[in-house]
Structure 1
Amino acid sequence: MARLLIILTVIAGLALAFFGLLADASPQTAYLAQNGISLFLVICAVVVVTTVITSVYILVFGVVGDRFARRRLHRFIGWKLLRSQRKGRTVMSSLHGSWHRMLARTPKRKLALLGAGLGAFGGLLLLQSPRTWNAVADAVSPDFATAVQVALLILGGVFFLVGVAGLVLGRRPGPAPLPVIGQRFAVTLPTFISIVGVSIGIWALIVVLGVMHGLQSDLRQKILRTNAHIVIEPQRPDGALGDGLALESEIAALPGVAEAHAFVTGEVMISSPTGIGKDVTVKGMSDDALAHSQQLEGSVISGSVRWITRPEALIPDRYRYTSGADLFDLAPPDGDAGDDAGDDDETFAPIVGTSPRAALLPGILLGSELANNTLLVDVGMEVQLISPDGDVGPTGLRPKLRSFRVAGIFRTGMYDYDQNLAYMATSDAERFFNYGGDLNRLEARLTRAEDAPTVLAAVRDVLKARFPGLKASDWQERNKNLFSALQLERIVMLIILGFIILVAALLIVSSLVMLVVEKVREIAVLKALGASDRSIVRAFMVVGTFIGGFGILAGVPLGIGTALVLIAQGIALPREFYITDLPVKLDAFELVIIGLAALGICLLATLYPSLQASRLKPSDGLRHG
């Protein structure tokens, strides 16, 4: 008990010193120090949990291990070599002795502990007052004042409870209890450290690979949501599809194709009224494709897809309001009024701050990063598209310029797409890029993205038979470099984190070498009684199997539990990462591979010590053991 009180006091003192030193540190230093302490506490918690789980497994297996090991000689020898053969006091006997020593203290020491606890509570009450807390916070830091409160609460509670228990229950402690000696079910300390090392390595591998798998899946989902699974385009950069609508019908009729849309695309420069310019990719798609395609489903955060073809509804957000009417019920342009134009019951929202003669510009959809952070425009504001493929004038080649009005802003969750992509109507894109009635790109989405290679082969057969001059590619080919880099990164991380298990394997080698030196006489006696070299090798292989098995049984549940907690709770990431929460996804195949690899490394680590033990001569062991 005295050791526990000393340890708590030292920890409290170190914590107060830490927060006191951070008072004068820079914000960057304080941030790094706090993150370092948080990581250290997480590692300590993992070590403690792993130690507890491993201890439970060893304790439970120790009860039934002897019965299991007696069936085979090598298992019996391996189990006996793994366990610590030392006898010591049982856990209940140790706790009973500590309780008796606490009660048998002198009244002065009990009163001193009680007084220390009351003094800590008094300091805590004093620090609860706003004047005292503000004084400490101003003199050092608010974190230091909070740390003092926590330290006083913990130390005061421990000292007070120990002092009260000694005074109330320790009047007649009686004679000291006799120690109870029993066989320990624990393993040797080097072996236990090896088991904990293996389990921590497995835990780190599962968590890190789960996060990387989640990031890869999240990236793949965003790419497939914005890009099509199969893309058909002319072999020449300035070519066209030909009969794009007929090709669209044939591709949509193929098995496994969910939707297919032909459109116009091109590279242009877009500029805002403030003069900010940016190169973007423009897709000109039909009204039906824009409204029902999975590309923009649920991605429009401001405006509407329908406003691309309803320029009369496009006015700046700060000027738009309604008076009981929907925004789409605005009055049609002059001369286009229908039969209901003279209906007195029809009311329209007034357009404040705009002229009735304002030009009706075609609409365009912009990505959130492009609109909000680059061009600084909002829904209803005017932008210009600039293309170098213009007309030849008196002064030479002139770029083509055309004004558009922002009809909506979308957010896909992929920075490159939200920064470099824009959508408009097919007719507007055909006029701007001088395609007439032709289309130059077709995108198809499948019911299952994994069927892309099979459907791609069927698409290429169609192109070869009826549409020569066109080429097709799937999402795996178009993003091959990206996914290859991600896969290589996962492999590298697997290798790097595998060194944790390798270090644990080196601990296994060292512990078993020490075990061979310690058990020289026992091994010599076994060989003198007729044990073969193979039996000795298999006995040490059993030791490695137990170490790897206990490490896997402790590390795999801890890793899966940590991943499930991350999935359920989530870790919010800064906006700069463009991911709201840390994605985590477990793969059953990876879990099996990690467990088998850890077990294999543990078995390989036992080869050298087992061979050294099998080569031992009985006469040398009995003479020098």
Structure 2
Amino acid sequence: MLSPFEWMIAKRYLWPGKGEAFIALVAGISVGVVMLSVAMLVIVMSVMNGFRAELLDKIVGLNGHAIVQAYGGRLENWEDVLARVKATPGVTDASPLIEQPLLTSFGGRVEAVFVRGQTDADIAALGEKVVLGDMRSLYQPSAQSGAGRVAIGMRLAQNIGARVGDTITIINPQGRTTPFGTSIRQIGYEVGAIFEVGIYDYDEKFVVLPIKDAQTLLLMGDSIGMIEVTVDDPDKVGQILAPVQKQLAGQAVISDWKTINSALFEALQVERVAMFFALSFMVLVAAFNILSSLVMLVRAKTRDIAIMRTMGATRRSLTKIFVTTGTTVGAIGTAAGLLLGAVVLYFREPIVDFIAFATGQEIWDPEVRFLSTLPSRTDPWEILGIVLLALTMSFLATLYPAFKAANTDPVQVLRYE
């Protein structure tokens, strides 16, 4: 704790006088560097956390936490397997799924797509992602049209020029075998809904339809392609499904979200650690700025320090004064950095749009970043770590000038006064 005398001197040194404009400038630069370093750490770590969390949420929202896939791509006795998976402790939901790469055509345009056959409940769950149309129309029969209905991604609709109510053709190269060869299977489907998940590849490739229609299109009979599984703890999905994996050995393989997207999430984790390490050096630079400003302050206040020593001020008091001065500079910069980081994160989308407009370059390309918008998710523990890092480095930077001031010999300083 500081005594009233120590706190009074520390406050005076925090605001140098009119004749010490250069010291004030250096101290202001120190506050600015701390502010920028903390803000950059907060912004970058929040964006990278948001990117990972948003990507995981969207991928899991479509594919679940794990996939049970039969060897050969067809699961015949899937009802038994589904019941076995649902009965496993830790599994919250499981549903059949068919996914197959095919072709679709409309208006003379042909695109490669992924056809997804899902249950009515899973299709209804995508209702919140619908931009145009109604997901319920996929599994509610039409009185005016005998054709089945599908839902397509927003970017796929833009690429082929299809709208709600249009009929697209899905082409299955593996058609029926006839005496004249294999006939390509082409079936027309009415577009009942257009959705936007937010992941570029999904919005560009996915065509969703009821699982019965998918079985008919792919000539699968009553079999399915896979079972998607959702668990209560995504990080322990391997442990939860280990008993099922043993029961299905030789019949099916289980792939969890970590395995399916391992390259992507490992790259994100490595980039996250590397960015935190690199940006931490900005805090070190800020600490050196605090050190240099305090060294100049000690040199400028050498006569004052000598007078205080002759008046009875102890070395401990002088050490506390300069440590408080430097640490306060670091604390002000840290608080300002947190505020700046919060403001930038709040207005991140307009800032990205402005930079793209000013430079003429696409800053956030969905084709590269997977997500349509710039995400952000702040981790309170990471913010606490950043604050502690900045304050610790600021405190350490004050020790040398504080000890230098405390060891000032008043006799040597005042000899020629």
2:301 aligns with 519
Runs of 5+ consecutive residues of structure 2 not aligned to the other structure: 357-361
Please tell me whether residue 365 in structure 1 is matched to residue 151 in structure 2. yes
Name which of 252, 267, 280 aligns with 2:113.
Answer: 280
| SS class of match (2:55) | helix
Q: 1:549-574 CA deviation, whole Å, 9 max, x = no partner?
A: 233344435544x268649x987969
Identity %: 31
Please tell me whether residue 241 in structure 1 is matched to residue 75 in structure 2. yes
Q: Which letter maps to 1:363?
A: R
CA RMSD of aligned residues (A): 4.1
* 1:195-344 map, 5 Å: 195-234=31-70, 236=71, 238-274=72-108, 276-286=109-119, 288-292=120-124, 294=125, 296-308=126-138, 313=142, 328=143, 330=144
Contact 2:10 2:322 in 1 (8 A): no
Shift of 1:442: 0.3
CA distance in 1, matches of 2:133, 2:30: 60
Shift of 1:523: 5.0
Q: Which letter maps to 1:511?
A: S
CA distance in 2, matches of 1:597, 1:240: 54
State the TM-score, normalized to the length of structure 2: 0.77
Shift of 1:200: 4.4
1:508 aligns with 290
- Higher relative contact order, structure no. (Cα contacts within 8 Å, ≥ 6 residues apart): 2
Contact 2:215 2:223 in 1 (8 A): yes
Contact 1:78 1:540 in 2 (8 A): no
CA distance in 1, matches of 2:96, 2:346: 44
Q: 1:332-359 CA deviation, whole Å, 9 max, x = no partner?
A: xxxxxxxxxxxxxxxxxxxxxxxxxxxx
| SS class of match (1:218) | helix
Q: 1:292-338 CA deviation, whole Å, 9 max, x = no partner?
A: 4x3x2322334444544566x3xxxxxxxxxxxxxx5x49xxxxxxx
* 1:77-116 map, 5 Å: 79=10, 82-83=13-14, 86=17
Contact 1:307 1:407 in 2 (8 A): no
CA distance in 1, matches of 2:269, 2:298: 42
Deviates more, 1:497-506 or 1:387-396: 387-396
Deviates more, 1:259-268 or 1:215-224: 215-224
Contact 1:77 1:539 in 2 (8 A): no
2:243 aligns with 461
Q: Which letter maps to 1:70?
A: S
CA distance in 1, matches of 2:235, 2:309: 62
Q: Which letter maps to 1:544?
A: G
| SS class of match (1:600) | helix
Contact 1:285 1:424 in 2 (8 A): yes
Q: Which letter maps to 1:299?
A: K
Q: Which letter maps to 2:208?
A: Y
| SS class of match (1:606) | helix
Q: Which letter maps to 1:505?
A: A
Identify if the C-alpha distance between structure 1 residues 599 and 535 changes in structure 2 by more than 3 Å, giving closer, same or farther: same
Contact 1:201 1:501 in 2 (8 A): yes
Identify if the C-alpha distance between structure 1 residues 571 and 537 changes in structure 2 by more than 3 Å, giving closer, same or farther: closer
Shift of 1:473: 2.8
Name which of 320, 325, 330 aligns with 1:543.
Answer: 325
Please tell me whether residue 599 in structure 1 is matched to residue 385 in structure 2. no
Contact 1:213 1:584 in 2 (8 A): yes
Q: Which letter maps to 1:245?
A: E
Compare the two structures and name the one with the higher strand fraction: 2
Contact 1:198 1:501 in 2 (8 A): yes
| SS class of match (1:250) | helix
| SS class of match (2:381) | helix
Shift of 1:454: 3.4
CA distance in 1, matches of 2:234, 2:373: 29
Contact 1:303 1:379 in 2 (8 A): yes
CA distance in 1, matches of 2:27, 2:165: 70
Contact 1:230 1:473 in 2 (8 A): yes
CA distance in 2, matches of 1:624, 1:384: 98
1:374 aligns with 159
Deviates more, 1:374-383 or 1:207-216: 207-216
2:359 aligns with none
Name which of 415, 430, 440 aligns with 2:215.
Answer: 430
Contact 1:387 1:399 in 2 (8 A): no
| SS class of match (1:463) | helix
Identify if the C-alpha distance between structure 1 residues 76 and 595 changes in structure 2 by more than 3 Å, giving closer, same or farther: same
Q: Which letter maps to 2:325?
A: V
Counting matched residue pairs gives 402
Please tell me whether residue 419 in structure 1 is matched to residue 253 in structure 2. no
Q: 1:193-239 CA deviation, whole Å, 9 max, x = no partner?
A: 423442344345434544444444433332232221221113x4x24
State the TM-score, normalized to the length of structure 1: 0.54
Contact 1:572 1:580 in 2 (8 A): no
Identify if the C-alpha distance between structure 1 residues 420 and 258 changes in structure 2 by more than 3 Å, giving closer, same or farther: same
Q: 1:24-49 CA deviation, whole Å, 9 max, x = no partner?
A: xxxxxxxxxxxxxxxxxxxxxxxxxx
1:70 aligns with 3
Q: Which letter maps to 1:506?
A: F
CA distance in 1, matches of 2:248, 2:377: 43
Contact 2:150 2:191 in 1 (8 A): yes
Deviates more, 1:417-426 or 1:208-217: 208-217
Q: Which letter maps to 1:366?
A: I
Q: Which letter maps to 1:246?
A: D
CA distance in 2, matches of 1:405, 1:493: 48
Deviates more, 1:569-578 or 1:360-369: 569-578
Q: Which letter maps to 1:507?
A: N
CA distance in 1, matches of 2:256, 2:318: 58
* 1:131-150 map, 5 Å: none
CA distance in 1, matches of 2:58, 2:416: 69
CA distance in 1, matches of 2:58, 2:179: 47
Q: Which letter maps to 2:131?
A: I
CA distance in 2, matches of 1:363, 1:586: 41
| SS class of match (1:483) | helix
Please tell me whether residue 404 in structure 1 is matched to residue 188 in structure 2. yes
Contact 1:79 1:542 in 2 (8 A): yes
CA distance in 2, matches of 1:458, 1:208: 34
Shift of 1:365: 2.5
CA distance in 1, matches of 2:227, 2:9: 67
Please tell me whether residue 587 in structure 1 is matched to residue 379 in structure 2. yes
CA distance in 1, matches of 2:250, 2:212: 25
| SS class of match (2:164) | coil
CA distance in 2, matches of 1:583, 1:453: 22
Runs of 5+ consecutive residues of structure 1 not aligned to the other structure: 1-67, 89-183, 314-327, 332-359
Identify if the C-alpha distance between structure 1 residues 363 and 564 changes in structure 2 by more than 3 Å, giving closer, same or farther: closer
| SS class of match (1:268) | strand
Contact 1:203 1:556 in 2 (8 A): yes
Q: Which letter maps to 2:153?
A: G
